[in-house]
Amino acid sequence: MILTDAQLRDFDEQGYLFLPGCFTAEEVGILRDEARRIYASDRPEVWRETSGAPRTAFAAHTYNEAFRILGRHPRLIGPVEQLFGEKLYMHQFKVNAKAAFDGEVWQWHQDYGTWARDDGMPEPRAMNIAVFLDEVMPINGPLMLIPKSHRQGVLPAGHDTRTTSYPLWTLDHDTVTRLAAEGGIVAPTGKPGGVLMFHGNLVHGSAGNITPYGRTIVYLTLCAVSNHIRKPTRPEWIAHRDFTPIEPLSDDALAQYARKREERTAA
Ligand code: SIN
Ligand code: MN
């Protein structure tokens, strides 16, 4: 997948791009099934909300075949490689549940703030590209973004280790109020299979989910290889140390895997 000039301009101005319908129902279906299996397992990489509901599963591309394929999918690698103009490695990989009734808040933050402070990443030449596995609606804790905030550089932040089970460098109310007055707040919504990419410095967060509708989103954090992290402080499965350039698979790799799985189950 290659971005058009208009999409590149849009990304540059707004700091994000939403691309609906990038993955088919068959492709999303297998990922959703595998996410459920991972959440039901007892692994240190699966972090839970205070209720015990799953919050995020780290590094699923290292222990699950469907997510391994997604981590090398040309529809995700292509646009980010195009933007950075060089090969990429996987800095982080997470499957966020935002579970029905129990999914808790992600406070306002910039991802690069954490990658710089906790992992020693030199530049904001890494970004998230996210795949919606459930329908993301205005009511089930969609990701909220402050357009144009990626132009602010790294903003001062405090280390919040208490609000949720996941420590995060978060922004204060005055900063968020000022940025929202300038750029507004948007919450891209859409069917499963949509893809959202956003700049490492774009301010974002999400509210809790008290609806019966889960909101699973997979986030690949792709980093330019020359920008690899220098001073990691977090476990390997949160901030990866394998800087091998990703070689994309064929466009139908996930669909083929889904069909093979189906045949095996039917046999
Ligand atoms: C994140 O900011 O890394 C995740 C937020 C979310 O999934 O709502
Ligand atoms: Mn984030």
- Residue 200: which CATH number? 2.60.120.620
The pTM of the whole model exceeds 0.75:
yes
Mean pLDDT, residues 248-258 taken together: 96
Q: How far is the CA of 43 from the centre of ligand 2 (A)?
A: 22
Domain count, the chain: 1
Structural domain that includes position 244: 5-266
Q: How far is the CA of 114 from the centre of ligand 2 (A)?
A: 9
CA dist., res. 131 & res. 28, Å (int): 9
CA dist., res. 72 & res. 232, Å (int): 23
Which residues pair with residue 42 across a beta bridge? none
pLDDT digits (tens, 9 = 90+) for 120-158: 999 999 999 999 999 999 999 999 999 999 999 999 999
The set of protein residues with a Cβ atom below 6 angstroms from ligand 1 is 96, 98, 106, 143, 204, 206, 217, 219
For the chain, how big is the Rg over CA atoms in Å?
Answer: 17
Q: How far is the CA of 260 from the centre of ligand 1 (A)?
A: 32
Pocket test of ligand 1: the residue of 58, 94, 96 to mutate, having most ligand atoms within 8 Å of its CB, is 96
pLDDT of residue 242: 97
Query: What order of strands is seen across the sheet that includes strand 217-224?
Result: 16-19, 195-199, 126-132, 217-224, 88-96, 54-58, 46-48
pLDDT at 64 over 90: yes
CA dist., res. 209 & res. 225, Å (int): 36
CA dist., res. 2 & res. 186, Å (int): 24
CA dist., res. 185 & res. 190, Å (int): 17
Atom of ligand 1 nearest to the CA of 56: 7
pLDDT class of 46 with cuts at 50, 70, 90: very high
pLDDT of residue 221: 98
pLDDT of residue 1: 80
Q: How far is the CA of 250 from the centre of ligand 2 (A)?
A: 28
